[in-house]
Amino acid sequence: MSTSELLALRIRQLSRHTTDLERTAETLKIARCQNREQFIQRFEHRLLKKDYQPGSLVLVQNSHLEMTVNRFKTHPRYLGPYEVECKTLGGSYKLKELDGTSLQKNVAAFRLYPYIRRGSPEFEALKEPEEQTWDPSEYVNEEIEEDEEGPDQEWSD
């Protein structure tokens, strides 16, 4: 290629540069929106963030048990219940005992689970419906169908 052809090619590339950038930016914006929607859909059950109001009761996950394998099988997985005192600016929670004594350290939001009292409407809604009991007397009088070959017939390959 000659110098004049190379210059003409470069001029054409520079003239298309703004439209290429706009097209690329639009494609990138669409891809980011699709990735965001896909991420939200994939992790929708993990990303539930519950804001606990002051005064609500919560359980705290005993996270140091996760580091061990067998030594603490009988130790409680959750501590509490505790009462939420307030939410800090960083998103963690300041908790207090039921007698009003504040805990020294704040607790991360992902370690908290709502405490649901037994007998409350929320608890009743979470309970599974009672299964029907199986009564074997319903099936005792049914006739057992035998194969055409009979029960003592051996199988052949």
Do 31 and 64 belong to one domain?
A: no
**Domain contains 156:** no
Find all residues with CB under 8 Å of 82, minimum gap 6, and list them.
Answer: 57, 58, 59, 60, 95, 96, 97, 98, 103
Residue 54 has pLDDT above 90, yes or no: yes
The residue range of the domain holding 18 is: 10-48
Q: Is 95 exposed, middle or buried (0-12, 13-18, 19+ CB in 10 A)?
A: buried
What tens digit of pLDDT does each residue of 78-137 get? Answer: 898 999 999 999 889 999 999 999 999 999 998 999 998 888 888 788 777 666 666 666
Please answer whether residues 60 and 82 qualify as being in contact, where contact means their C-beta atoms are separated by less than 8 angstroms: yes
Same-domain pairing of 68 and 114? yes
pTM, to two decimals? 0.51
Mean pLDDT of the chain: 81
Q: Return the pLDDT at 141.
A: 59
Decide if pLDDT at 142 tops 80. no
Half-sphere exposure of residue 50, counting CA atoms within 13 Å on the CB side?
15
Decide if 110 is inside a domain: yes
Q: So what's the pLDDT on residue 122?
A: 80
Shared domain check, 106 and 80:
yes
Q: Are residues 69 and 40 in the same domain?
A: no
Q: Is residue 134 part of a domain?
A: no
Residue-wise pLDDT tens digits, 55-70: 999 999 988 777 666 6
More confident residue, 7 or 44: 7
Task: Say if residue 76 is in the same domain as residue 121.
Answer: yes
Q: What's the CA gap between 44 and 86, in Å, rounded?
A: 26
How many domains does the chain contain in total? 2
For residues 99 and 44, membership in a common domain is answered with no
Question: Which pLDDT score, from 0 to 100, does residue 132 have?
Answer: 62
- Residue 63 is assigned to a structural domain of this protein: yes
More confident residue, 152 or 40: 40
Please state the rounded mean pLDDT for residues 14-19: 84
